[in-house]
Amino acid sequence: MQTLNAKDLQNAIADGRLSFVGRELPELAPQDTAALLDAMDRSDRTIAFRLLPKDYAVQVFDDLTPTAQATLIRSLGTVEVADAFDNLDPDDRAELLDELPANVAKALIRSLSPSERETTAVVLGFARGSVGRRMSPEFVHVFPDDTCGEAVDRIKARGRDAETIYTVPVVDHHRRLVGVVSLRELLLSDSDVAVDEHMNPPIYAHVDEDAESAAQRCIDRAIFAMPVVDGEDRLLGVLTLDDAAEVVEAARDEDEARAGAREVLKTPYLQSSILAITRARVVWLFVLAVSAILTVNVLEIFEGTLEQRVALALFIPLLTGIGGNTGSQAATTVTRALATDEVTSGDAGRVAGKEIRVGLTMGAALGAVGFVVASAVYGLDIGTVIGLTIVSVCTMAATVGGLMPLVAKTVRVDPAVFSTPFISTFCDATGLIIYFTIAKSVLGI
């Protein structure tokens, strides 16, 4: 069968070939159909979803992005998607409900069975951005004094309602987490052997922990299901590996967007409205425009210096470019180290020390080149100013760029907020102050 794409489906709908759409989509895996619907316009997505068989539509809805799910609910109404909503895992429901108006969210919650409503309420009770909001409260646990045979029977009895059974939490009779055991160990062991003989120490997350940090740890350790506990180590849920991957991917998309001075688009680019794209960009442009005024003010302060040695103006783009890029490189490196738990806010001193040395090393190399070139063309005095400025600017920019993400983390702000454009603008203004101060000292003006 020829590979379908979103444009083919939209053309078929526009031509009235609805039977083609209804026949071809169910031949695909639900994940592939969901990817196609995600890429379609809102109206065409609604039509295509209506053409799907009911049971298949439930599976497809589960694989759609929360934004696409929300548009379907707004288009179709809560009644027509009630089964699909009921089929979602509690953490996925919570993510979808965040996308919907309050009245629609309440109507959907009322459509749930009492048990599903209860598990969804557990997840909704935790703050957005916490691992508690992304965990699944549907899991199966065993006790350390169970035999492996009893544990397997327990998993068989309750496993259908659990999100995963491959890594099984072990709790005491007060529900406190004491370990984990793999399903493989339980199945391959003698049925009369106690679970605690195969139990491993747990790697877990606290329910209020930042979801991105917990998810990165889950991926780094390749944990199929990371237990999530409260302040007294009582088991509340599990964070599965696939959910952890979604959290990390979303965080990476957000960081990359902010590094480019914009916000993440919730829909594919071609399906995003002009207003949505403008809103994602314009706020950052306002912030950068205001911060760029600092650079203008610095130039105004040193206007007299420029009038005396016009050649100094020629090097401003070079120096601001070096400072901005150096700071951005350091910020990006440290932000990544924060995301992977290689450094913490408490490592500020070590990070500053390392970035000072890195900045000095890079500055010495670049400054030497700048000194030679500028001296050959404009004289030794200008060359000295350029060489010293490059060393100073590189050191300052690397140190500031490295520390900014740590400061952001300490004050509970996303380190990506102190992203490339912001640090570049800050280093531009500060670099010019350094430049003209050195120039006035060396040139005596």
pLDDT recorded at residue 416: 63
Q: 73 versus 206: which is more confidently predicted?
A: 206
Same domain, 420 and 333: yes
Residue 347 structure tokens: 């490592």
Strand partners, 239: 226
Q: In this model, does residue 2 exceed pLDDT 60?
A: no
Gyration radius (Cα) of the chain, Å: 29
For residue 146, CA distances in Å to 162, 167, 193, 200 come to: 19, 16, 8, 15
Average pLDDT over residues 416-443: 80
pLDDT recorded at residue 313: 83
Q: Are strands 235-240 and 225-229 parallel, antiparallel or unpaired?
A: antiparallel
Cα–Cα distance, 186 to 156 (Å, whole number): 12
Q: How sure is the predictor about 288, in pLDDT bands with cuts at 50, 70 and 90?
A: low
Let me know if residue 173 belongs to a domain: yes
> What is the CB-side half-sphere exposure of residue 146 using CA atoms within 13 A?
24
Output the pTM of the full model.
Answer: 0.61
pLDDT in tens, 83-129: 778 878 888 888 888 877 777 788 788 878 888 888 888 888 888 88
Residue whose pair of structure tokens reads 């949505």 in the numeric block: 276
For residue 28, CA distances in Å to 3, 157, 222 come to: 10, 32, 30
Residues composing the chain = 445
Let me know if residue 143 belongs to a domain: no
Let me know if residue 136 belongs to a domain: no
Share of the chain above pLDDT 90, in %: 33
Q: Are strands 225-229 and 205-206 parallel, antiparallel or unpaired?
A: parallel
Same domain, 152 and 114: no
For residue 388, CA distances in Å to 87, 142, 360, 374, 435 come to: 65, 66, 11, 12, 9
pLDDT recorded at residue 299: 66
Q: In this model, does residue 381 exceed pLDDT 70?
A: yes
> What is the CB-side half-sphere exposure of residue 303 using CA atoms within 13 A?
4
Q: Which of 230, 256, 282 is the last residue of a domain?
A: 256
Same domain, 240 and 354: no
Q: How far apart are the first and last CA of the chain?
A: 78
No. of H helices and E strands in the chain? 22, 5
Same domain, 324 and 386: yes
Q: 360 versus 44: which is more confidently predicted?
A: 360
Cα–Cα distance, 44 to 61 (Å, whole number): 15
- Write down the mean pLDDT value for the chain: 85
Q: Do residues 436 and 445 lie in contact, with contact meaning Cβ atoms separated by under 8 Å?
A: no
pLDDT recorded at residue 308: 63
334 by Cβ neighbours in 10 Å (0-12 / 13-18 / 19+) ranks as buried
Same domain, 314 and 432: yes
Q: In this model, does residue 179 exceed pLDDT 70?
A: yes
Q: Do residues 291 and 426 lie in contact, with contact meaning Cβ atoms separated by under 8 Å?
A: yes
Same domain, 81 and 206: no
Residue 202 structure tokens: 């747990």
Q: In this model, does residue 263 exceed pLDDT 80?
A: no
Q: In this model, does residue 184 exceed pLDDT 70?
A: yes
From 146-150, 167-171, 276-280, 414-418, the region with the lowest mean pLDDT: 414-418
Residue whose pair of structure tokens reads 């699944």 in the numeric block: 136
**Letter string b/e over residues 37-70, b meaning 16 or more CB atoms within 10 A of that residue's CB:** bbbbbeebbbbbbebbeeeebbbbbbbbbbbbbb
Find the CATH number of the domain harbouring 433.
1.10.357.20
Cα–Cα distance, 369 to 372 (Å, whole number): 5
SS (H, E, C) 142-166: ECCCCEHHHHHHHHHHHHHHCCCCC
Q: In this model, does residue 248 exceed pLDDT 50?
A: yes
Let me know if residue 194 belongs to a domain: yes
Cα–Cα distance, 281 to 262 (Å, whole number): 5
Cα–Cα distance, 48 to 57 (Å, whole number): 10
Let me know if residue 84 belongs to a domain: yes
Q: How sure is the predictor about 367, in pLDDT bands with cuts at 50, 70 and 90?
A: very high
3-state secondary structure of 297: helix
Same domain, 232 and 316: no
Same domain, 113 and 238: no
From 219-228, 389-398, 417-426, the region with the lowest mean pLDDT: 417-426
Number of Cβ within a 10 Å radius of residue 349: 9
Let me know if residue 276 belongs to a domain: yes
Average pLDDT over residues 335-352: 84
Find the CATH number of the domain harbouring 236.
3.10.580.10
pLDDT in tens, 26-69: 989 999 999 899 888 888 888 888 888 888 988 898 888 888 88
Same domain, 178 and 319: no
Share of the chain above pLDDT 70, in %: 87
pLDDT in tens, 130-140: 999 999 998 99
Q: How sure is the predictor about 1, in pLDDT bands with cuts at 50, 70 and 90?
A: very low
228 phi and psi angles, rounded to 5 deg: -120, 125
Where are the alpha helices (H) located in 340-419, listed in sequence order? 348-378, 380-410
Same domain, 278 and 192: no
pLDDT recorded at residue 393: 95
Let me know if residue 363 belongs to a domain: yes
300-304 long-range contacts (CB < 8 A, ≥24 apart) are: 301/436, 302/432, 302/436
Residue whose pair of structure tokens reads 């150096």 in the numeric block: 326
Find the CATH number of the domain harbouring 85.
1.25.60.10
Residue 410 structure tokens: 């300490």
pLDDT in tens, 209-238: 989 889 989 998 889 999 999 989 999 999
Question: Domain range for residue 52?
Answer: 6-129
Cα–Cα distance, 223 to 215 (Å, whole number): 10
Q: Which of 129, 161, 195 is the last residue of a domain?
A: 129
Domain count, the chain: 3
Same domain, 249 and 280: no
Q: Which of 68, 102, 129 is the last residue of a domain?
A: 129
Q: 270 versus 157: which is more confidently predicted?
A: 157
Let me know if residue 18 belongs to a domain: yes
Same domain, 209 and 121: no
3-state secondary structure of 263: coil
